[in-house]
Amino acid sequence: MKALKATGVCRAYGKGALKVDVLRDFDLTIDAGAFVALMGPSGSGKSTFLHLAAGLLAADAGTICVDGEDVTKMSDAAATRFRRRHAGVVFQDFNLVDTLTVAENIVLPVALDGARADGVRLTALLGKLGLAGKEHRKPGELSGGERQRVAIARALFAEPAVVLADEPTGNLDAAASRGICDLLKDLNKTEKSAILLVTHDPVVAACASEVCFLKDGRIAARHATAGDPARVSELYLETCK
């Protein structure tokens, strides 16, 4: 089964003369366990697609199957429940709950789902993400890079089919950004979840196996990154300039 399969997705904002078509007959397929970067000019609709795939926004047309289920047909409540298990989300600004500890933040989606969080899984993820010993801290007592690692652990905890990450390194300095990239590469090898990573940075995109370019409402090209930021940069300019 595909981790994600979007077919004929359309989404516009505004009405009448002010209507802006952002996604037009947009298709994208992500295999189970794949690592795909999504690039495109500012305003091309990358965040719009991620929000649609997470069931946080309604599509005007088309289907987006995540783990085999069409999120575009779900009610808000059903999409919220679905997301807790099947789609992890990571945003630029971390979105952690400041009053909860690191450990509580990571298990929150599963706890909200009424399940008991697996302590062995939690300890393993804390270790993998370099957060061992920090599980009782609050987000305010962490660096930006550490906060983003908590958000990634939260997204991965339930082993979702796909992790949707919107510019997860956008608020980090070069060193912390590098750390998150190396981590995502490593996690993609050892975890089951596929990753869809939105970024403007070719160095970050080159951590993924493939890169897709969004232009004029659709995926205009899809290439292997070969782990090479210079190649990603060149392909971006070829497709999106």
Ligand X SMILES: Nc1ncnc2c1ncn2[C@@H]1O[C@H](COP(=O)(O)OP(=O)(O)OP(=O)(O)O)[C@@H](O)[C@H]1O
- Positions in the binding site for Mg ion (CB under 5 A): 47
Q: How far is the CB of 209 from Mg ion (least distance, A)?
A: 22
What is the DSSP pairing of strand 162-166 with strand 194-198? parallel
Touching ligand X, residues 2-41 (CB under 6 A): 13-14, 20, 22, 40
Q: How many CB atoms lie within 10 A of CB 68?
A: 11
Nearer to ligand X, 30 or 153 (CB): 30
Question: Minimum CB separation from ligand X for residue 49, in Å?
Answer: 7
Chosen residue from 46, 83, 84, 147 binding ligand X by CB under 6 A: 46
Beta bridge partners of 5: 29, 65
Closest CA to 13 of 75, 53, 59: 59
- Cβ proximity to ligand X: between 105 and 199 the closer is 199
The residue among 47 and 72 lying less far from Mg ion, judged by its C-beta, is 47
Query: 153 — phi, psi (to 5°)?
Result: -60, -40
The yes or no reply on residue 45 touching ligand X (CB under 6 A) is yes
Q: What is the Cα–Cα distance from 231 to 216, expressed in whole angstroms?
A: 22
173 versus 216: smaller Cβ distance to ligand X: 216
Find the helix or strand (DSSP H, E) in which 112 lies: helix 102-112
Residue appearing with tokens 């089951």: 192
CB of 186 to ligand X, least distance (A): 26
- CB 12, min distance to ligand X, A: 9
Give the Cα separation of 32 and 27 in Å (integer). 17
For ligand X, the binding residue among 48, 105, 188, 239 (CB under 6 A) is 48
Task: Choose the binding region for ligand X from 29-37, 44-52, 71-79, 117-125 (rule: CB under 6 A).
Answer: 44-52
Kindly state whether residue 188 participates in binding ligand X, applying the rule CB under 6 A. Answer: no
What whole-number distance in Å separates Cα of residue 233 and Cα of residue 122? Answer: 37
- Report helix, strand or coil for 143: coil
Closest to ligand X by CB, 26 vs 157, is 26
Using an 8 Å Cβ cutoff, are 205 and 222 in contact?
A: no
Point out which residues bind ligand X (CB under 6 A): 13-14, 20, 22, 40, 42-48
